Amino acid sequence: MTFNFAPMPDDKGYFGEYGGQIIPPELKAIMDDINDAYEKVKTTPEFLQELAELNADYTGRPSPIYHAKRLSDKIGGAQIFLKREDLNHTGAHKINHCLGEALLAKYMGKTRVLAETGAGQHGVALATACALVGIECEIHMGVIDIEKEHPNVTKMKILGCKLVPVTRGTQTLKDAVDSAFEEYLKDPVNSLYAIGSVVGPHPFPKMVRDFQSIVGREAREQFLAKHGKLPDIITACVGGGSNAIGLFTAFLNDDGVKIVGVEPAGKGLNTNQHAATLTLGSKGAIHGFECYTLQDDKGNPLPVYSIASGLDYPGVGPQHCYLKDIKRVEYETADDEECLDAFMTLSRLEGIIPALESAHAVAYAMKQAATMSKDQTILINLSGRGDKDADFVANKLGL
Ligand SMILES: *Cc1c(COP(=O)(O)O)cnc(C)c1O
- pLDDT tens digits for range 110-125: 999 999 998 888 999 9
Query: How many Å lie between the centroid of ligand 1 and the Cα of residue 83?
Result: 14
Residue stretches of the chain with pLDDT short of 70: 1-6
Q: Are 160 and 136 in contact (CB under 8 A)?
A: no
**Does the Cβ of 120 fall within 6 Å of ligand 1?**
no
Give span(s): CATH 3.40.50.1100, the chain.
16-55+93-209, 61-91+215-397
Distance 25 CA to ligand 1 centre (A): 31
Is ligand 1 within 6 A of the CB of residue 92? yes
Query: Considering the entire predicted model, what is its pTM?
Result: 0.96
**Residue 5, pLDDT score:** 61
Q: Is the CB of 126 under 6 A from ligand 1?
A: no
Residues catalogued as catalytic: 94, 116, 383
Give the per-residue pLDDT at 1.
43
Q: Would you say the CB of residue 311 lies under 6 angstroms from ligand 1?
A: yes
Q: What is the pLDDT of residues 294-350, one digit of tens each?
A: 999 999 989 999 999 889 889 999 999 999 999 999 999 999 999 999 999 999 999
Cα separation, 38 vs 101, whole angstroms: 9
Dihedral of CA 117/118/123/125: which sign? negative
State pLDDT tens for residues 250-282. 999 999 999 999 999 999 999 999 999 999 999
Q: Which atom of ligand 1 lies at the shortest distance from residue 311's CA?
A: 4
Q: What is the mean pLDDT of the chain?
A: 95
Question: 195 phi and psi, to 5 degrees?
Answer: -70, 145
Could you tell me if 100 and 194 are in contact, meaning their C-beta atoms sit under 8 angstroms apart?
no
d(CA 195, CA 210): 13
Identify the CA nearest to 296 among candidates 284, 305, 287, 308: 284
Q: What string of DSSP letters covers 67-122?
A: E-HHHHHHHTSSEEEEEEGGGSTTSBTTHHHHHHHHHHHHHTT-SEEEEEESSSHH
Architecture of the domain whose range is 16-55+93-209: 3-Layer(aba) Sandwich (3.40)
Q: Does domain 61-91+215-397 have CATH number 3.40.50.1100?
A: yes
pLDDT at 312: 87
